[in-house]
Structure 1
């Protein structure tokens, strides 16, 4: 049924957290008995990509140290290769309990880091890239992405910075929109892009009608591309996303075969895009869930 070891098939339990990739909670769409957790899709992505046991153990250590439902994972696909980014939230700002220092300590048995804890910076979340090389100690954890609030606008937004030994470098601006009430603002934001030629392609090439019926749309302005995210989509929309972008059958087929076991959940997906030789090209895509 799955291609996963039995211990990696995670069955939902009463009281499980259901939240989107911003760790904003939502009620499950239906009964949870006999259903799967989103963490199962993480294990499936690791298995499909041939990830080693140390990376599995690293994920287990994060959940053991922070608790279930406290970490967001993202499986990113670019050029046929899957990588993973993990996201850590604490909206307490300086009163946070989920800090860079705490996560670095949890990861220390797997990978050393030369980075100091930026404890006095008012970040509300941070993320880092995890892979076999890091889990096996073949590369240091030398970059963390810090996310800072961006008040002063009617649009909810945030800024991300790359934090390395050289300091902070600005990376991305994220703008959040209510998909039901603010689609015209989304279209205006997409059209005002440094990475699209004018006259630009039809925005429907980006704003897929099948996915636009979601909860929240996020537009990101990045250095080498722009990004578009659809938050709180259904499992059927997730399958469509996989199929349209040509995900491996090991991933798409797993979700398709287990659709009924996942239909109590909402999902989040994203894609990066830019112009290449006069065409709109998706350079990377991703899907997200709770660990």
Structure 2
């Protein structure tokens, strides 16, 4: 897949570098002549033959919030790719990036009747983009709200799905230092309502090649569990997407542009469930900054 040259974005002085939690990091090397992570998003959309309105939605978010304020995730389930966007404001009740503001930005392209009180202390929310939304076959009919979990000895957060008629608890996320908390990570993964013990092959979930990441997140969800490897370099991103059998044209672009992406850190997530007695990935995603 040849990417439109207009979508090739070069890094500029003053660019922000942050992971999928919008925590800043220093680039791994020189940035001059290198690519922004937005280029990877545009290529993901191109590989999926995405509707033009999806590009316009992404552009509206960056124009409305400013560069470096939105995190994108390219999510793949089976042969279908969708995109989730994440919006953070750790000021909580003093936030400037709110549900109301984002929905107002998107209203001309993707309307929504959702409302959520700004008097509640969420620090993050997300919404999904897909072809049906782009074609006007649906509105933004769900957002995901994330709140903290004070009192826990492990850094963690709670996720709720918000619809017009419902507020539903969905996920618990626990954050670990992948380098110093290996035992705690393995204990947390093994303690699951979805997995049988004994005999569980934890390496089928905690992929050894990605355990060099900086932060590892374990998610307990209603229908499955999830693992997020945060801050992996371009080489490990390629390894992950190859293991997940992403389309060759999508991975080939990363290989070809490896040098111009080598200053960046990415994030990779997998959802998994037990199928025929063994863990199997049911959905995956990779993340970057817009």
The 2-side partners of 1:286 and 1:212 are apart by 17
Q: Secondary structure at the match of 1:123?
A: coil
In the alignment, which residue of structure 1 is the partner of 2:262? Answer: 263
2:151 maps to 152
Counterparts of 2:117 and 2:45, CA distance in 1? 30
1:216-246: CA deviation from partner (whole Å, max 9, x where unpaired): 0000000000000100011110010011111
Segments ≥4 residues shifted beyond 3 Å: none
Matches within 5 A, 1:88-237: 88-237=87-236
Matched-pair contact (CA < 8 Å) for 1:112–1:137? no
Partner Cα separation in structure 2 for residue 121 and residue 130 of structure 1: 25
Residue number in structure 2 paired with 1:253: 252
**In the alignment, what sits opposite 2:78?**
79
State the TM-score, normalizing by the size of structure 2. 0.98
Residue 132 (structure 1) shift: 2.4
Q: How many residues align?
A: 290
The answer for the alignment partner of 2:240 in structure 1 is 241
Aligned partners of 2:32 and 2:10: how far apart in 1?
8
**Contact 1:191–1:200 under 8 Å retained in 2:** no
Gaps of 5+ in 2: none
Partner of 2:16: 17
C-alpha contact (below 8 Å) 1:55/1:136 kept by paired residues: no
The CA deviation string for residues 64-107 of structure 1, in whole angstroms up to 9 with x for no partner, is 00000100000001111111100000001010000000000011
- In 1, distance between residues paired with 2:149 and 2:237? 30
TM-score under structure 1 normalisation?
Answer: 0.98
The corresponding residue for 1:30 is 29
Structure 2 counterpart of 1:64:
63
Cα distance per residue 1:151-204 (max 9 Å; x no partner)? 111210000000111131100000000011111100000000111112242111
How far off is 1:142 after superposition?
Answer: 1.1
Separation (CA, whole Å) in 1 of partners of 2:135 and 2:77: 22
1:110/1:134 contact within 8 Å kept: no
Aligned to 1:240, the other structure's residue is in SS state: helix
Q: Distance in 2 between matches of 1:39 and 1:202?
A: 36
Structure 1 residue ranges without an equivalent (≥5): none
What is the alpha-carbon distance in structure 2 between the residues aligned to residue 200 and residue 172 of structure 1? 26
- Summarize deviations over 1:28-67 as a string: whole Å, max 9, x none: 0100011000011110010000101111011100000000
